[in-house]
Amino acid sequence: MSSANPGLAYQDTPPLSAPLRFFLTAPLFGLAAGLLLLFDAELLSSRWTPGALAVVHLFAAGFMLQVMLGALLQILPVAAGAALPAPRRIAATTHALLALGAASLSLGLGAGIPAAIVTGAMLLAGGLIAFLVSSLIALAKAAPNHGASRTPRDLRLALAGLTVATLLGTLLAFALGRGLALPIDLPTAVDMHAVWAWMGWGGILLAATSWVVVPMFQITPSYPADFTRVWSPATLALLVLWSICMISGLSTGALLCGIGLLIAAAAFSLQTLRLQMRSRRGVPDAPFRAFRLAMLALLASLGVLLLAQFHDGSQWPVLAGVLILHGTFVGTISAMLYKIVPFLAWLNLTQSGVRAPNVKKLLPDPPVRRQLQLHAVALGALCAAAVIPALAPLAGVLIVAEFSWLFVNLVQVVREWHRASTL
């Protein structure tokens, strides 16, 4: 495909194996996080326990990051006209480095092995650099975008957020693993890494995706044009200001910017819920309801974060983390996976000239519905365990079941795809 007509050809769609490898291994990291919770009843007593740090990175770097990058391989050509050069090779390299990196980093943090922390961070950074460089090349080659949608611009902003989060994470790994002296204290650096990863990368990516996914797939009115024009740049600007205040020790400024970020996240969540209430699709399906629950979890997490500003207590940051990581991101990501994976299998079969079974034959509704119900129950148990840490093993059992089931459901699609393609 020539670059004269970027992104419009089937040929520019990466091969099925490229995103699929990310989607299939990601749930295994969620499963590992559940196992850790199962065997460590003290894990959620504070955000600083080695087990909590390991679980956070199993979720964030193991599950979320993998699915997000796998999905970007697919969405960059369609939404931004940017097809990654050599997608098969980039996918294989990034995937291997990310998976090994997330495993090593989590092991290092959980078991206190400095060498594994540094190795994990370097593998992760290597995978991310490979991905970021190739997506920058693709975006630079893409035709300039004159469309009304802010998605292409905001995908770029999210990649900028990912770059900052990666840089901060790598510095932290060297501080922990090699004793690198940081110019700021460790908790501040950790907060900066977490906020850049959640808001600068995850939040902006979720928003950029929602601008198209919510109106188009849930058939709702569009997000207001002024809202999508301002939201991501304002969020990024607040993040920069907040970081400057944090580094310079301006605590009032940091508090105000932090509240500004909470307001931005709340506005996104409320706006999305408002649009979802006006969906024209008659019967909201399970992924739709899971997405709505995720928006409610996001709102709840903001309330908890606000509370944590004014009330000491180690349970508040843990509860907020649970609501953001598991409630918001695992929820939206699971909902999207259930739409993306069957469709990619269908598209692959159709392109190969095979009469493809429809997406609900590739993955029927009942197992999806039950798995997402289990996700909601697991979220409830995790929230309870954040307040009563002794409940962590119960939450662990449910998380293990949730991610095993997600994995089984996705494998089911691959089996149906295989069966149809060999008929």
Partner 1 sequence: MTSIAELMTHDHRSCDHEFAAAETLAARKDWPAATKALNRFTSSLETHFQAEEQELFPRFEAATGMTQGPTQVMRGEHVEMRATLERLASALENQDADEFAGEAETLLIMMQQHNMKEENILYPMCDTRLGAQSEAVVGNLSHRLAREHAA
Q: Which residues bind partner 1 (CB under 8 A)?
A: 2, 4-10, 78-81, 143, 145-149, 151-152, 212, 215-217, 219, 222, 280-283, 339, 343, 346-347, 350, 358-361
CA terminus-to-terminus distance, the chain: 30
From the CB of 175, what's the least distance to partner 1, in Å?
41
Q: Closest CB to partner 1 among 4 and 140?
A: 4
Q: Closest CB to partner 1 among 216 and 263?
A: 216
From the CB of 133, what's the least distance to partner 1, in Å?
23
Give the Cβ contact number of residue 351 at 10 Å: 13
Q: Closest CB to partner 1 among 2 and 422?
A: 2
CA atoms within a 13 Å half-sphere pointing along the CA-CB vector of 215: 13
From the CB of 306, what's the least distance to partner 1, in Å?
36
- Residues 6 or more apart in contact with residue 261 via CB below 8 angstroms: 195, 199, 235, 238, 239, 242
Q: Closest CB to partner 1 among 8 and 270?
A: 8
DSSP string computed for 266-314: HHHHHHHHHHHHT---SS--HHHHHHHHHHHHHHHHHHHHHHHHHS--T
From the CB of 71, what's the least distance to partner 1, in Å?
13
How many whole angstroms separate alpha carbon 398 and alpha carbon 323? Answer: 16
Q: Closest CB to partner 1 among 91 and 336?
A: 336
From the CB of 395, what's the least distance to partner 1, in Å?
32
Sign, CA torsion 360/20/403/262: negative
Provide long-range contacts, Cβ within 8 A and 24+ apart, for 349-353. 349/417, 349/420, 349/421, 351/10, 352/421
User: At 149, phi and psi to the nearest 5?
Assistant: -70, 135
From the CB of 214, what's the least distance to partner 1, in Å?
11
Q: Closest CB to partner 1 among 4 and 423?
A: 4
From the CB of 280, what's the least distance to partner 1, in Å?
4
From the CB of 158, what's the least distance to partner 1, in Å?
16
Q: Closest CB to partner 1 among 227 and 343?
A: 343
CA atoms within a 13 Å half-sphere pointing along the CA-CB vector of 186: 10
- Residues 6 or more apart in contact with residue 9 via CB below 8 angstroms: 1
Q: Closest CB to partner 1 among 252 and 358?
A: 358
Q: Closest CB to partner 1 among 89 and 281?
A: 281
From the CB of 191, what's the least distance to partner 1, in Å?
36
User: At 364, phi and psi to the nearest 5?
Assistant: -65, 160
Number of helices and strands in the chain (H, E): 16, 0
Sign, CA torsion 9/15/16/22: negative
